[in-house]
Amino acid sequence: DSGVTQTPKHLITATGQRVTLRCSPRSGDLSVYWYQQSLDQGLQFLIQYYNGEERAKGNILERFSAQQFPDLHSELNLSSLELGDSALYFCASSVGGAGELFFGEGSRLTVL
């Protein structure tokens, strides 16, 4: 158990819908990262927050947004969902902005 908690573990929804994925970092970690892994692909960096502030952005679509709350948990919002958004979405946390990453078990999103 890495200490990073992600909910929900599985989610099935329809095209055009909106979903929210939630992540609680390890106790004491200030940074949260979001990654997307499509089927049989590598991990694509989406976005990173440090202590509530956005610090780095990767290949995140405009239909996606995220935030980190004062209690340090983070949410990734995916809207106007398309079939191609089906993927495993991982959250990771670290103590600082560039330290060792620990991953949650992921949220598997299926868009039908």
Partner 1 sequence: GIQVEQSPPDLILQEGANSTLRCNFSDSVNNLQWFHQNPWGQLINLFYIPSGTKQNGRLSATTVATERYSLLYISSSQTTDSGVYFCAVNTGGFKTIFGAGTRLFVKA
Q: Which long-range contacts (CB under 8 A, 24 or more apart) does 60-66 make?
A: 60/34, 66/34
Q: How far is the CB of 16 from partner 1 (least distance, A)?
A: 26
Q: How far apart are the C-alpha atoms of 28 and 34, rounded to whole Å?
A: 18
Asked if 2 touches partner 1 (CB under 8 A), the answer is: yes
CB closer to partner 1, 2 vs 80 = 2
CB closer to partner 1, 75 vs 105 = 105
Asked if residues 32 and 74 have their Cβ atoms less than 8 Å apart, the reply is yes
* Binds partner 1 by CB under 8 A, chosen from 34, 90, 93, 109: 90
**DSSP 3-state of 85:** helix
Restricting to residues 70-89, which ones interact with partner 1 according to CB under 8 A?
Answer: 88
Query: Would you tell me which residues interact with partner 1 (CB under 8 A)?
Result: 2, 31, 33, 35, 42-43, 45, 48, 50, 55-56, 58, 88, 90, 92, 97-103, 105-106, 108
